[in-house]
Amino acid sequence: MRLVLDANEYIFALGFFRKESCESLLKLLIDNFSLHSICICRTIVEEVRANLTPKEFHNFVKFINIFTSIDEDFLIPFELGAKYETKGFKEADALIAAYTEWVGAEALVTENRHFLSNHPNLPFKVLTAKEYLNLI
């Protein structure tokens, strides 16, 4: 399954304030890396960098290098971001939603963008780490 993990998934899995479901998600992805495809954009990387220590960020980079390379934000079509902004999304939320759609991810895994699930016509699922773990 192709996934976009929001920054908080990495922060809660690798940072000081840990969340068991986020840790379990990253472990499951590592243990089954051939079954999952992870996509990540520069905005998510920078948010993770701002919220982890250098050692924690190094572990994040090692994780990312197993799965993927980083997509630069400027590659995301402007029209996709504008589409989400016209639906009332904040700029950062619109970018993440546009990126998730652009890469063709089946799901955005996040702990704090639940309002996205209130939009019934999204081309992807919005799930928490716990929900994703229960799904698979």
Structure confidence by residue, pLDDT tens digits, 103-124: 999 999 999 866 666 777 889 9
Give the separation between CA 115 and CA 101, rounded to whole angstroms: 16
In which region does residue 35 sit, left (phi positive, over 0), alpha (psi from -120 to 50) or beta (all else)?
alpha
pLDDT on residue 40: 97
Domain ranges of the chain: 2-135
Closest to 78 (Cα-Cα) out of 62, 91, 60, 66: 91
- List, for the chain, all residue ranges whose pLDDT scores fall below the cut of 50: none
For the whole model, what pTM was predicted?
Answer: 0.92
Q: How far is CA 70 from CA 41, 64, 74, 116, in A?
A: 5, 8, 12, 23
Give the separation between CA 92 and CA 53, rounded to whole angstroms: 23
Q: Does domain 2-135 have CATH number 3.40.50.1010?
A: yes
